[in-house]
Structure 1
Amino acid sequence: MSFEYFISILKPMLTGAQMTLLLFFITIVVSVPLGFVVMLAQKSAFKPLSWLAHTFVYVMRGTPLLLQLIVVCFGLPVLPGIGEYLVLDRFTAASIAFILNYAAYFAEIFRGGVLAIDKGQYEAARVLGLNKFQTLIKIVIPQMFRIALPSLANESITLMKDTALIYAVAVPELLHYAQTAVNRDLNFFPFVVAGAIYLLLTAILTFIFKLLERKFSFE
């Protein structure tokens, strides 16, 4: 395998990796706070809101992400009456599907983190005269984040790998360029290069989360 061939397939795959990273960062930046909001809605005393949040999480976690991608990309535009207003470019539609899906998973991670906090913490907050908002900001969120961090790391790594699914809705990401090279050259090597790039990205992500876990474990 010549070095020139390696460079020729690497350049387009790095272009695809930019799309992969863009989808990853958009999903993380939006779905993490949205997941937190959904978690709060699940715990709301207003039953219709709580039911709606639980239903959202159940549907998003109970159906395949690939199916959700297909529905958002191809299903919404054919809805009677409103479909014409829901026609989105493929990347935007894929981003919406990923955000909704991962918001549901992050909501469950955050809910688990909140449930792991000792109830005595809430009693201590009341003794100190903290209201519900102050308790949430000063007591709940810091401990919840520390508890949930390993699960957040695992889910983020899964997200990095799941970005390959947008290949199924014709968004040109890393796997798309690898498949194109394989079909053109009848050579399996581009898939090896794509796998190496995914491994590098997940290794960097794992390193970042290890640093975060080390930082919060000593606070």
Structure 2
Amino acid sequence: MDIFNTFLNWPVFVDALPMLLKGLWITIKLGALSIVLGLIGGLMLALCRLYGPTYIRGIAIAFIDVFRAIPLLVLLIVIYYALPFIGVRLTSFTAATLALTIVSSAYAAEIFRSGIEAVPKGQFEAARALGLNYFWLMGDVVLPQAIKIVIPPITSNSINVLKDTALASVVAMPDLLKQATQAQALAANPTPLIGAAVIYILLLLPLVRLVAVFEKRFAER
């Protein structure tokens, strides 16, 4: 067999396409939910680390440091396979979402923190001079400026979350990679894996280019 029949077998790809599209939909749902929850959690962690009481700051710092250090695959296995021993049983989708959200929020927290700290101190002083309380200060003055600063790194982090969804296959979740692996086994041909790789590229390449556009635009400003 030549390389095209082995790795680029069109009939095999056509047969596997329904499975790949089904897995793609699950990957998109998992990625989108994890990104949204990770951004919310990251923002809350950043605010707790910057402005919370001392013990809250300590908890936030410990959370961020620990879950940035733990490999996602290890965390995913612990959540899905170890928690049942203490009576907590989660579906593969829930376990994957939880693991991705925890790690994503830890990284997003540092991104948001750097963005907030990049806002000039004069903005804080001017807002306080106008009598704005903490919530109006953050909502109307600080966060709108910080979010503009962190858009490029946040987009990069979101891309990493989408790529990391492939690890969910280790907990038997039928995502794109898992479906491609099953299709490969059924066809005894690696073409479905090549097809999954192409789908990942088509899904992520526009986001990669979007990061470059954001970085260029903010650099010009």
**TM-score, length-scaled by structure 1:** 0.89
Corresponding residue for residue 95 of structure 1: 97
- For the 8 Å contact 1:146–1:217, the answer to whether it is kept is no
- Do the aligned partners of residues 140 and 16 (structure 1) sit closer, same or farther apart at CA in structure 2, a change above 3 Å counting? same
C-alpha separation between the residues in 2 aligned to 1:5 and 1:16? 17
Using the aligned pairs only, state the percent identity: 36
Structure 1 gaps of 5+ residues are: none
- Which amino acid counterpart does residue 198 of structure 1 have in structure 2? Y
2:108 is aligned to: 106
Cα distance between partner residues in 2 of 1:169 and 1:205: 27
Show the counterpart of 2:174. Answer: 172
Mapped partners of 1:200, 1:186: distance in 2 = 25
TM-score for the superposition, normalised by structure 2: 0.88
Q: How does 1:135-174 map to 2 (within 5 A)?
A: 135-174=137-176
Q: Which residue, 148, 172, 194 being the options, matches 1:192?
A: 194
1:23 and 2:23 are equivalent in the alignment: no
Work out the CA distance in 2 between the residues paired with 1:25 and 1:213.
22
Shift of 1:207: 5.6
Equivalent in the alignment of 2:77: 70
Which one-letter code corresponds to 1:71 in the other structure? V
After alignment, is 86-95 or 184-193 more displaced?
184-193
1:161 and 1:41 map into 2 onto residues whose CA distance is: 28
1:164–1:175 Cα contact (<8 Å) kept:
yes
- Paired with 1:43 and 1:20, the residues of 2 have a C-alpha distance of 34
Alignment RMSD = 2.2
Equivalent AA in structure 1 for residue 173 of structure 2 = V
Greater relative CO (CA pairs within 8 A, separation 6+): 2
Instruction: Tell me by how many angstroms 1:128 deviates.
Output: 2.7
- Deviation of 1:4 (Å): 3.4
Aligned to 1:126: 128
Helix, strand or coil at the partner of 1:43: helix
* Unaligned runs of at least 5 residues, structure 2: none
Q: CA deviation at 1:142?
A: 0.7
State the aligned residue count. Answer: 214
- In the alignment, which residue of structure 2 is the partner of 1:5? 12
